[in-house]
Amino acid sequence: MMTNITANPLETGADEIERFALEECVKRQRIDHRVAVMILPDRRCEMAIKFARLGAHVVVAEDPSLKQDVEGRILAAGMTEQIRFAPYVLPDLPDNPDDGLFDIIIVRRGLCSMPYDKARQVVRQLLFKLKIGGKLYLSVLGLHSELSEGYAASEATIDQRYAELAPALAGKYNIHQPVCLYTERNLFMLLLEAGASVLRTLTTTHGNVKGVAVRV
């Protein structure tokens, strides 16, 4: 199912994927009063707090150097019982919660920082952190976005598409490492090849791509 939505160029604000994930949390909360959510990353804890207010138990996965900052925000929000920090640096992932697997995992960014084959491995690892029937929500930077202007790998196939952005855009968005940009079909195939059942893909009006998949 393909849908166009509006979002800012780097997808930092609320969007359709976030709404889908929050709605899923509400549905699961009605059945199982302990819903486990992991968000990668969420430095400001804005999304984590939304899920915690719905009664979910949330893991905020962030760079280890941000531990004090993130835990300070959790404390300030009065959510220390429901939100915890977990260090991670892709492609390594945080451990599962002590009491089992996650119901919902949201990857806001990071997959584009690695080649397609490595991203597929990471997505497969993420699926194994989900309960059967658990859902994965992904956001990636799009090939048909502003970021493709001057992108050296724009004509390459997805398995070879890994290059730096044009200097002006790299500076504008503070993305100075090589990236893999995706089409909607690329993301669909990434999820499928990783072993997920794809529920939907979305393309924003800025050309970036999002997907929802389930562990079967």
pLDDT digits (tens, 9 = 90+) for 84-98: 999 999 888 887 766
Q: Which carries the bigger pLDDT value, residue 56 or residue 7?
A: 56
Residue range 119-170, pLDDT digits in tens: 999 999 999 999 999 999 999 999 999 999 999 999 999 999 999 999 999 9
Residue 65 DSSP code: G
CATH number at residue 64: 3.40.50.150
Question: pLDDT at position 95, please?
Answer: 77
Which structural domain range is residue 191 located in? 2-214
pLDDT score of 13: 38
* CA gap 100, 192 in Å, rounded: 24
Q: Is the peptide bond before 64 cis (omega within 30 degrees of 0)?
A: no
138 three-state secondary structure: strand
pLDDT of residue 97: 66
Q: Which helix (H) or strand (E) segment is 211 a member of?
A: strand 209-214
Helices (H), 110-196: 116-127, 167-173, 184-194
- Note the pLDDT of residue 124: 97
Q: How many domains does the chain have?
A: 1
Is the overall model pTM greater than 0.85, yes or no? Answer: yes
